[in-house]
Structure 1
Amino acid sequence: MQDYEVHEESRIAQVTAVVRSTLAVEEIGPWLKNSYGDIDRVLSERQAGPTGPPFARYRMLGGGRFEIEAGFPATSPIDPVGDVGPSELPGGQVAVTVHIGPYDAMEPAYKALETWVNEHGRKVGDPWEVYFSDPSTDPAGWRTEIVQPFRPAEPELPSGDSR
């Protein structure tokens, strides 16, 4: 099992071009493959990038479904073209780790990030994954950076305090 080193970074907001969808886990892979091609084409046509590797940001909805925003960093916001539109990865404090291996084995990396954030008294935001490997290569060597935004935890109010 991989040992996950977690570290804190301060990130600046990053302009992106994305597509969005709500999907079940088993639908994500094929959807990402098609989406990245569309986004890359739009960015190239607009001479706006891509300026970095692809990413996908996830919000768990329950019932095995996720709201997903997938795309690339861009040089500037783009006007919407079909399903491709402008967005932004947020700036701020994040916890980061790197997973080596197939995507379906990333759960321990997410657990390591969650543990780190909890131990530092913070609350998690919606994470994103940055994909540094060609998915046509051997999954054992895939390198994925997982970025977990966080914010200070809300202070607990004393019992009976209704502020």
Structure 2
Amino acid sequence: MPQFRFHSEEATAVRRSLLVRGDLRDWVPATCALVAEHLRHHGIAPNGFPFARWHALPAGVIAVEAGFPIAARITGAGLIEPSTLPAGPVLAGWHTDPDQQLAATYRLLDEWLETEGAIRAGDSWEIYHDLPACEGLGVRIEVVQPITFAHATTARR
């Protein structure tokens, strides 16, 4: 069952790339390991689990960033850059079934959005609660989708 909540803005340390969707499964764990090593080298503790967020571009390309939330914003240093996860209302759903495709979790979120009259308000992100082992994405994945309510958009016009 999806959960509605408010997400506070989070500073993050990320690596960015342009990929095709099929490359995400290998790129995310390797990138999170790279970001984790960068943070360790600079004495910065992650402030949560690793995540990935992407935006679809034309021709099947996606702009992706992956890394960790951190307590304070970093300055850009080569491959690792500062970013943020936005504040605002979000809908979160959990993927925990190794036999089920992650797409089923996204469908549950879409059904909730339709039922509740809410709409997407930006790109979602996935939080990988199993990833610190960096052996794959795991099965405990939290999908977070920023949202707004259609009636709130209509009322402002």
TM over 0.5, shorter chain: yes
TM-score for both structures, normalised by structure 2: 0.85
- Counterpart residue type for residue 49 of structure 1: A
Mean alpha-carbon deviation: is it higher for 114-123 or for 98-107?
Answer: 98-107
Q: Which of 115, 120, 128 lines up with 1:119 in the alignment?
A: 115
Residue pair 2:25, 2:136 contacting (<8 A) in 1 also? no
1:9 counterpart SS class: strand
How do 1:1-163 and structure 2 match up within 5 A?
A: 5-102=1-98, 105-124=101-120, 125-134=122-131, 136=135, 142-153=139-150, 154-155=153-154
- Counterpart residue type for residue 109 of structure 1: T
Q: CA deviation at 1:72?
A: 0.2
Aligned length: 151
Over the matched positions of the two proteins, sequence identity in percent amounts to 31
Equivalent-residue separation in structure 1 for 2:117 and 2:84 (angstroms): 26
Q: CA deviation at 1:37?
A: 1.9
How big is each residue's C-alpha offset from its partner over 1:74-100, in whole Å with a ceiling of 9 and x where there is no partner? 121111121111111111100111001
15 and 115 in structure 1: CA distance in 2 versus 1, 3 angstrom threshold: same
Structure 1: 4+ residue segments shifted above 6 A: none
- Counterpart residue type for residue 66 of structure 1: I
Mean alpha-carbon deviation: is it higher for 102-111 or for 38-47?
Answer: 102-111
How big is each residue's C-alpha offset from its partner over 1:106-136, in whole Å with a ceiling of 9 and x where there is no partner? 1111011112122222220210000011463
Structure 1 vs Structure 2 CA RMSD: 2.4
Residue pair 2:25, 2:137 contacting (<8 A) in 1 also? no
- Counterpart residue type for residue 2 of structure 2: V
Structure 1 residues not aligned, in runs of 5+: 157-162
Larger relative helix fraction: 2
1:35 counterpart SS class: helix
Residue pair 1:24, 1:65 contacting (<8 A) in 2 also? yes
